Structure 1
Amino acid sequence: MGNPSSASTDSQEPQVISCSDAATTAKSDDRSPPYKPNVMRFLEGVGISTPIAENYSSEDFYSDLLCNHLKVGTVRRGHVTCFTTVKPTITNALGGLHGGAVAAIAERVAIATARTVVGEDKDIFLGELAMSYLSSATIDAELIVDGSVVKSGRNLTVIEVGFRMRKTGKLFYSSRATIYNAPISKL
C-alpha cells in the first residue's frame, strides 16, 4: 500500500465543463475524460449553446410563459385548484412537462394557497420546495393542480401540491412547500 500523500498527480480527476465551453467548438485534449463527448452532445442537444431570442430576454419572461398555461379552478380557505395543459413551450427534450415548469407551477400554487390563510398584514416567501417527479405528463395532457394547507402557524405555512391527470386522477408530481410568514416591514 502506498502513502496517500504520495499519490501521483496523473490520476483521473473530474473536469468541470462550463457553459462557455459548451458554446465553443470542442477541442481535442489528450487528457480529456472519456465521458466528455457524451456530456457535450447532451448539453448541445438540450440547447445549451443556442442563443436566446430577443423576445425571451424580457424581465420575468418565465412568469408570463407559465401564466399562459395555468388557469384557476377554485379558491377557498386552505385550498386552491388550478388546471394546466402541457404544451410544447413547457416541455423538456423528451416531450414531457419540464421539471422546472413543474416546480415553478408548484411554487405559484403553493403561494396562492398560503395566501388563503395568511393575512395581508404579512409578507410571505418560499423557504423550501421539495418535488417528487413520479411520472411524466406528455404534450396535451390535462392536469389538475391542487394546493392544500397542511399546517399554518404564526411564522410558517406548509402546503402540499399535487399534479393529477384530469381524466384518470393519476398522480404525476407531488410537492411540499414551506412558506415563511413575516410581518410587513415598515421602513
Structure 2
Amino acid sequence: MRNPSSASQEPQAASSSDCITTAKSDERSPPYAPYLMRFLEGVGISNPIPENYSSKDFYSDLLCNHLKVDTVRRGHVTCFTTVKPAITNALDGLHGGVVAAIAERVATATARTVVGEDKDMFLGELAMSYLSSATIDAELIVEGSVVRSGRNLTVIVVEFRMRETGKLVYSSRATFYNSPLVAKL
C-alpha cells in the first residue's frame, strides 16, 4: 500500500488553472521565433505576390510553358520538360509541387485517351515517389501509361526519367473515377 504523504511518480493531469495564457501573444515570443522569421523571409514567404502571378490559372500557364508534348496515342502520352529556375526549390532541384502538378496533367491527358468524352472524370488519388532530384537545366522525359481502365475506374502511372541517362527520378500513380455525364432535362 502506498503512503499518501509520499510524492507520486505518476504524471499528474494538468488542471485548467495550470494552463494560464496571456491575452497578448507578443509579450512572450518563443526563443526560436527570430530564427523562424529570418528563414521565412529568406525563402520569400514575406514578399507580396507579384501582380502577374495572381492572374486566374497562372500556374497552368507556367506549367504549359515548361511541358512540351511529344506523342499521344491510345493509353500513352509522352512529354518533355526542362528544369528551369522558375520551377525549382531552394536546393535548385525540380520543386516537388511542380512534379506533382506535371504528373496530374500528364495523367489526366493519358486517361482521356481511353475514357470517352461522354464520361466525367475526377482525380481520386495521386501518389508520388521522389526517388532522386532533377537539377537546373536537366531534361526530363515524362511518360504516362494506362495501368487499368474500366467502366468506373482508370489507373495511370507517370514516370519522369532523365533524358540523357534514362534514370528514373520521379514516379506517380493516379486513380481517376469515371462517371457518366448527367443528362440535361
TM-score by length of 1: 0.84
| Residue aligning to 1:143 | 140
Q: Does 1:122 align with 2:131?
A: no
What SS class does the counterpart of residue 157 from structure 2 fall into?
A: strand
The one of 109, 114, 118 aligned to 2:106: 109
The one of 19, 25, 30 aligned to 1:9: 19
Judged with a 3 Å threshold, the aligned counterparts in structure 2 of structure 1 residues 41 and 132 are, in CA distance, closer, same or farther, namely: farther
The one of 34, 37, 41 aligned to 1:40: 37
Q: Does 1:68 align with 2:65?
A: yes
Deviations 1:30-58 (A, max 9, x none): 3x334433332222222111111111111
| Residue aligning to 1:23 | none
Q: Quick one: which amino acid aligns to residue 120 of structure 1?
A: E
Judged with a 3 Å threshold, the aligned counterparts in structure 2 of structure 1 residues 133 and 37 are, in CA distance, closer, same or farther, namely: farther
User: For the residues of structure 2 that align with 1:139 and 1:92, how far apart are their CA atoms?
Assistant: 10
Q: Report the Cα offset of residue 153 of structure 1.
A: 1.0
Deviations 1:3-41 (A, max 9, x none): 32448427xxxxxxxxxxxxxxxx9653x3344333322
Q: Does 1:186 align with 2:183?
A: yes
User: For the residues of structure 1 that align with 2:92 and 2:11, how far apart are their CA atoms?
Assistant: 51
| Residue aligning to 1:21 | none
**What is the Cα-based RMSD across aligned positions, in Å?**
1.9
Q: Percent identical across equivalent pairs?
A: 78
What SS class does the counterpart of residue 4 from structure 1 fall into?
A: coil
Question: Any stretches of 5+ residues in structure 2 without a counterpart?
Answer: 1-9
Q: Quick one: which amino acid aligns to residue 13 of structure 2?
A: P
**Equivalences, count:** 171
Q: Does 1:156 align with 2:165?
A: no
What SS class does the counterpart of residue 40 from structure 2 fall into?
A: helix
